[in-house]
Amino acid sequence: MFFPYKAKNPFERFPAATLFIIIANCVVFAVMSEHFLVIRREFVLAFGFLSRQTPFYTLVTYIFMHADIFHLAGNMLFLWVFSGPVEDRLGRVSFLWLYFVAGVIGGLAEDMIGNSLMKGGVPIIGASASVMGVMGAYWYMFPWSRIRIFYMIFLFIRGTCEIKAFWVIGAYFLLDVFYGTTGFSQGVANFAHVFGMLAGVAYCRVVGGRRDSEVMSEAKASQSTANDFSHLDLSDLVSLIEAEPDNSKALKALMDKAASENKNYILEKTFTKAGPALIEKAPELVSRYLLDVQGDINVYPSGQLLKLAARLRQAGNPEAALGIYQRLIQSFPESPDTEMAILRMAQIQWNQFKDADAALSSITEMQERFPQGRFLSYAQALRNGLKFTR
C-alpha cells in the first residue's frame, strides 16, 4: 500500500477553488450520511448516476457523494495534494471546468463500460473521476515533480520516500486499468478513474497547459525545501527562467547571483525576454534592473515606464520612482510621456521630499521643453502652490 501526502511543487496563489470543492464535498456528506460515517441508501438512489434510470443532473451530483468517511477522506487528500499547482497554472475558472469535465466523462465511461459488465448496474457515486482528472492534469504539466509518499508492506515495513509524479500517478492509472479489466476490485469505479485521468490530460492539451521541464521541477523541489532559489547555481537559474521568464522569485535569485559573479549580461538577456509584462508582476525587480544594473531601458516603452514609476511610488518607494522618471527623460527626450515624467518628478520632489527648489527646477524644465504642453496648467498650479508656501 502506498499513498501520496505532499507534492514538492510550490505554488503562488492560494487554491481557493480547491478549498471550495473540499468544503462542498464535506457538507454534502454531512447532510447525506448517517452520523458522518456512511451515506444513506436513499440518497445514493436519488442522486447517484445510472444512465436511463436516474435524472440527467445526477451526472453532476454523483461527483459530490461518497460511500463512507474513508472514501471521502481519501479523495479529498489526493485532491489537496495535487490540485494546488494545477489550479495555480490553469486559473480557478479553468480548474473548475477541468474538475467537472473529468467527472462527467469518467461517470459516463464507468456507466457504459463498468456497469455493462455487471447485471443491472448500480448508481455511481464519488469524486474519484474528478480527482483523477486533476491528477491527469498534474501528470501532464508537472511529470517530473517530486511527490512524497507513505508506503507500508505487510504491516511491518513502512516509511516515506520521494518519487517523480510521472511514476506515482502512472502507477495508479495502470492499477485502475488492471483492476477494471480483471474485475478484481468489486465496487470500485475503476473505469471512471481511468477515463477521468485521460480527460484531465486531454483538457490540458486543449487549453495549452504549460509543461515543466525536469530542470524546472528540480528547482521547484529545492525551493519547496529551502523556501527560496538562492542556493541554485547560475546555470540552473537560467534554465529555470527560460521556462518561466516571469518567475519573480527565480529572477531575484538570478539577479543576486549574476551580480555576485559579475555576469550582468545574463540579466540583460533575461529581462529582455521577460519584456514589459514583468512590470505588473515584479516592479521592484524591474526597477532594480534599470537603476542598479543600468539595464537596457529600450526594452520598455515610455508609457510602461510611467506605469512602473507610478507603481513604485504607490508602493512607498519614491526614490526609485524618481530614478525611473530620470532615465525615461534621458532615454526618450522627444516622447510625449517625458512631459508627464517631469511633472510627476516635481510632484514627488515636493509632496514626498518637500524640496521646493528641486520641484521648481523640474517645473521650469518642463515649461521650457514643452511650451505648448498638455500639462502646463498642472505645472503652473504646482508652481503657484510652491510660491505660496515659500
Give pLDDT, residue 388.
63
Give pLDDT, residue 253.
84
Cα-Cα-Cα-Cα dihedral of 310, 311, 313, 317, to 10°?
A: -140
Q: Which amino acid is at 109?
A: A
- 10-residue mean pLDDT profile of the chain (390 residues): values are 86 92 96 92 92 87 95 96 95 96 94 67 89 97 93 81 94 92 78 96 94 80 65 76 74 85 86 86 91 92 95 94 96 91 94 91 92 89 76
Give pLDDT, residue 226.
55
**Number of Cβ atoms within 10 Å of the Cβ of 212:** 22
Q: Which amino acid is at 267?
A: L
Determine how β-strand 38-39 pairs with β-strand 146-153.
unpaired
Q: For each of the domains in the chain, give its residue range(s) and CATH number, in order of start.
A: 2-207 (1.20.1540.10), 301-389 (1.25.40.10)
Cα-Cα-Cα-Cα dihedral of 285, 288, 293, 299, to 10°?
A: 60
Give pLDDT, residue 223.
66
323, with CB counted inside 10 A (0-12, 13-18, 19+), is middle
2, with CB counted inside 10 A (0-12, 13-18, 19+), is middle
Give pLDDT, residue 225.
63
**Number of Cβ atoms within 10 Å of the Cβ of 370:** 18
Q: Which amino acid is at 213?
A: S
Give pLDDT, residue 54.
83
Q: C-alpha cell of 112?
A: 457504459
Give pLDDT, residue 115.
63
**Could you give the residue ranges of the DSSP H alpha helices within the chain?**
16-32, 41-47, 58-61, 69-90, 92-109, 128-141, 165-182, 190-207, 214-226, 234-243, 248-260, 264-274, 278-281, 283-291, 302-314, 318-331, 336-351, 356-369, 376-389
Give pLDDT, residue 290.
94
